[in-house]
Amino acid sequence: MGDGMCGSIKEQIVASSEKSLEFLAAIRGRPNDVRFVSENLKAFVLHRFFLVDENPSTEDIAELSRLSIEKLLEVNRQGALQDLSNNCAGVSSETMKKALLIMTLQKKLDVSIPAEENDTVSQIATAIVRQLAQPGR
Amino acid sequence: MITKADDVRLVVQPIFLEMEHLYKYEGPCRVGQGEALEVGFDAIRNAEWYKRFQKKLVDNIPDEVAEVRDIIRIKRTDNWDQEEEWWDRIAQTTGDTDFYIIHSFLGLDDIAVEFGERFNKPFSLEPEYENPCSTTSVGAALNARGRGYEFYGFRTWGELVWQLRILRARKVVRTSRILMAPRNGAALSFSGVDGAYDVEELTHNLGCRFRYISIHELLDQTSLASPEGNHTTPGRDTWDITDDDMREIEAMADDLIAHAEEVEVERRYVINSLKFFKTVRKHMDRLDCNGFTAPCPDSCSTRRLNEEQFTFCLAHSLNMRAGLPSACEYDACSVITQQALIAVSGQRCFMGNTMPIVKESDGRWATFGLGGIEEEDMPLLDEHEGHLYMMVHSVPNPRMNDPEQDAPYSLRHFAEEKGFGAVYRYDFNRDKGKVITVARFSPDGSKLLVTKGTIVCGNGFRQHSCNTAIVFAVNDQEDLFQKQMQVGNHLATVYGDYTKEMEALGRSLGIEVITA
């Protein structure tokens, strides 16, 4: 899935994030196919998390969040910390990243992903298919 | 029903406090970008925290320490809601919950403070690294109110669970029920002036309670029932030995004898001692007691034990072997001390007369009862001179090292002439060098002495009568002796260093802890 990006790290992160939206469009185009949705969802997450080159096999969203933070701190520490919202309650970066991901999915796909179904790519894909595949959607 | 210390668990009720913003905005306590400020983001983030809280509870709190109930969720918005419905839900849990763990957050700590004020139940917040700043804030708020709220602050889950273990031990002590078998007065025996002179003081200070059975009624029931009833309870059905009991007793006697390395007591005397044990257990069971004590000299002078040919020693040993505290000489303080030691350690106890081993001015060992020390061990006494203590009674049990398995033991007899009164003998020489924790509650339960020592050698393994001792070295013999006068003669012990846990237990009970 390497796209051969160039430019500053920050530009690459932004570009990867923008490209991620293409996979959501693909999902909207074929919402009945769980496998298709799952693959594109994984691609979305990897682009969103700037993990395309690493392509980790894990499906666990929290783990992917953690890997993303690790990488971002390595390549762009100031940017990684700056771009992640923080507050006095000491929200962990991984929690924030996952919450933002879910928020984006819900908004862009107009679905609701219950907390008990948002831990893995497969779970989220199933929730998406269940809702988008309904008649009238 | 007999509830052992090992089987007591805390009931822990977690509460999850959460906050949601109803509008998108930034300000002095809220910053972010884009979707992090959108309505709905907080719910997703809270759900992640909730799942993490659930997992931490499961991963960190051992099943044997606590039953953890389903989490109560309480949500407020940036309207700063204050709903009485929250308290109604929590109030339903206060009857049987021992400890609350609250997940709090910026903008929610006031709810935690109000919880403390309303219900006055022991609680903590989720450890500090999960709830930054909340523990110190809530702790200070409650401390400032000066009402003695029992609030704990923990840096880590490890600290939290350690304290839960102490609170579990406290629950064991507070809910203990001790079966007492007096002859004359209900308070002290003639050999134990340092016993609980007023058990109401022990109840007041420690929470434990007492149930009674007359020693004569108890002794009457150690034989098969007669149609007209026992002398002390004519015409009444009582808990006498039955044929089934006898079969069980005989099997138990044979098992004890078969597994003993040496047997120097007749089988019939083992059976006699076991009849008493069985009868005691029946009454412990029917009165829901998990500790026992009976007076030795007061019972002895009835001459009934001489006639019926048993002593209480084996019953005490078998209780202690099973993790049930049991003490000689009507010493309720020793019983509850054993219970505390069992509760913090999960180990099995020994108890006895505990005294310093000293020399006279002529250089000879003066302390009585050293004759059972092996000749080759006597130089050890010189080596540890000035630091020696001895704990001696005829109630050893073979599970000091492993609560589930007997170490090698022998059986001997208490009475010298007639040879009755089966007793365990355990050779404490096997455990030279082991660290032991030694403790005792004072006669009124207002103080707890805690110390530790190292086993130097055993004493009395080959002797009959009231023997078997641990000879141990302590850091400061004089200091321990002076402090021992605040608590009494019979100290109790378990293997291992549990001084920190016992001290914490004492503080948790709200009593004075004396260390030596």
pLDDT in tens, chain A (137 residues): 444 444 588 888 888 988 999 999 999 999 999 999 999 999 999 999 999 999 999 999 999 999 998 888 887 666 555 544 444 445 567 888 899 999 999 999 999 999 999 999 999 999 999 999 877 76
Instruction: Please answer yes or no on whether B31 and A86 come within 8 Å at the CB atom.
Output: yes
At B20, give phi and psi (nearest 5°).
-130, 135
| pTM score | 0.93
The interface residues of chain B toward chain A in range 484-513, judged by CB-CB distance below 8 A, are none
Beta-carbon contacts below 8 Å between A and B: 57
Q: Could you report the predicted ipTM of this complex, rounded to two decimals?
A: 0.84
8 A C-beta contact, residue B6 and residue B325? no
- Measure CB to CB from residue B29 to each of A87, A96, A98 and give the nearest one: A87
Best residue of A95, A97, A105, A120 to probe chain B, by most B CBs closer than 10 Å: A95
Distance to chain A for B331, nearest Cα, Å: 54
Tens-digit pLDDT profile for residues B466-481 = 989 999 999 999 999 9
Residue that the structure tokens 């310093």 belong to:
B356
Distance to chain B for A114, nearest Cα, Å: 9
Residue B150 has pLDDT above 60, yes or no: yes
Q: Does residue A85 belong to the interface with chain B, where contact is any CB pair within 8 Å?
A: yes
Instruction: Please answer yes or no on whether B38 and A107 come within 8 Å at the CB atom.
Output: yes
8 A C-beta contact, residue B10 and residue B98? yes
Closest to B176 (Cα-Cα) out of B326, B15, B373, B388: B326
Q: Does residue B47 belong to the interface with chain A, where contact is any CB pair within 8 Å?
A: yes
Rounded mean pLDDT of B248-256? 98
Best residue of A91, A92, A105 to probe chain B, by most B CBs closer than 10 Å: A91
Residue B170 has pLDDT above 90, yes or no: yes
Alpha carbons B510 and B51: distance in angstroms, whole number: 36
Q: How many DSSP H helices and E strands does chain A contain?
A: 6, 0
8 A C-beta contact, residue B444 and residue B498? no
For residue B369, what are the contacts with CB-CB under 8 A and spacing of at least 6?
B390, B392, B459, B460, B467, B469
Distance to chain B for A104, nearest Cα, Å: 7
Alpha carbons A100 and A71: distance in angstroms, whole number: 18
Contact residues, chain B, for A86 at CB < 8 Å? 31
pLDDT confidence of residue A44: 96
Name the residue in chain B with its Cα closest to that of A83. B33
At B188, give phi and psi (nearest 5°).
-115, 155
Contact residues, chain A, for B31 at CB < 8 Å? 85-87
Percent of chain B with pLDDT over 70: 100
B410-413 and B422-425 beta bridge pairing: antiparallel
Rounded mean pLDDT of B131-148? 92
Closest to B127 (Cα-Cα) out of B19, B47, B52, B46: B52
